[in-house]
Structure 1
Amino acid sequence: MEDQALKWWHVRWGLAGRIISRFAIVSGKLIGLLFLVGAVGWGVLYLLQPWLSSQHLGKIDPQLSIIPVSISNKAESPLSNSNIEHYGFIFRLPNKGIARTIEQTTLVRFPNGMLEFPRPERYEDSLVFASTHNDEHVEKLLGREMLHSQFKLMQVAMLATPEQVKWWRFRSSQNERASLLLVLKFIALTESSPVHALTIRPVYTISSGEFHGFQVGNPDVPPYEARIDLYDGADRHLAFDIWGGEGHGQVLTQEEINAMVASIRPASDH
């Protein structure tokens, strides 16, 4: 009887061992499958990262889908005889402007708002430049020449849109380049007008003499605000903002802005 009982226990332990062994094998296969699925999923996300990030940015800021167009109103209004000097250049002012300078920032007060010439910013202090500086991969995507010209970099970045990044191109250099330019455009638009960031505003290309650049916003329609970024032949960056308090009226017209841009001269000429 004892021998039979012992044999029975051996049989039971053998069956239990086989069950445990099978369970371990099945569990191992399931865990391996889960790891495989996870690895594949991570790989897919890695490949789709440029497209996913661009789509996300596009949802955050619909402004990114807008590309610059040439400004249609090129008329100029008469200006006053008053002018200001800023960053080595002289600007003539519209009528009724009262100017003062506070810590390298020049403010011109008008009845409905302000014309502001911010403190000149060095290229290396710009957030756009900081995002590309000393990065070999960025240099490979954009080219050395573009990274050494503020205007050329902004010119290309402003033409980027989320729609240019295609999911089926995965992490191709074309997709990575378009995604990078879109990020730079997002930074530039936010940096230039943080108060009205993430709002849809028209973007224009402007040009006068040796100056080329961009205007964000239409001063002739609410909220009557605009940002102008200009670059001269030496790639120096000049900028000014038109803004006012909440619910303010029109500060300057497009014709007055056009005339101001056309009036810019090097201070050494005077």
Structure 2
Amino acid sequence: MPVATVREPMSQLLCQRLEASFPEAERTVALEKLKFLLRSIQNVPPITHTPPPMQPANPWPLAQVYQRLVLPEDGTPRGPLTADEDHALRQVHYLYEVQFAPKLENADVPGIRRPQSEIHARLLNEVRREFDALPFPPPRGEWETSTLLVAADLMVRAMLNGVQPTEVAIVASQEIPALPGRHLGGVKVHVVAWSAAIGLPWHTDATANPNAWDPSNPLGNEGNLLRAPVQLEWMDLRSLQQ
């Protein structure tokens, strides 16, 4: 069961290994991007189903990062890794699997258990589509930060509920006005997720939505998004420092 854990995403040893493998001008950006990615999935168990990406010709960026962390360059720290450092490597391996996960096929077929990374990749694409459809200006100029964090949060909630969600919808959204001295405004959304293979619960109260509910035509009844198994309230504010 996922458990919230607070830990530094990268130890000094791993930071030194990574920094030594990048040109000086790229080191800070590369390290900060990796730290954020690791923080974004800090509560997602990094369960993988493929061997570590150690092939030298592997073109995926996170495969190259993994190799730089595992095979330190001359002059960088060696020696055994701590439990937290091993966890960070598993996280990078997991992120790599999410990065190269194939498009999810037959998402509406019941009884198929998918690799966790494929479900996570599907959630990223679904959340990205939903955010891009919002009529509000995105915080910090783009939605990607929110996408990464929301998809990870949905993943944890889904695992706690024993669900492998394949569909995502934003069922409510609002723009938050700026608060002088506190923030520059932002957005608040209610996000839901469910499995296409299981479907959504049907309306049980004929008066709840008379325009959708027809007892004589059950095949025409609409699913109730507010009864989806995974629910999340999310708020993203533009900080004064951006």
Report the TM-score when normalising by structure 1. Answer: 0.25
Structure label with greater radius of gyration: 1
| Higher helix content, 1 or 2 | 1
| Higher strand content, 1 or 2 | 1
Report the TM-score when normalising by structure 2. Answer: 0.27
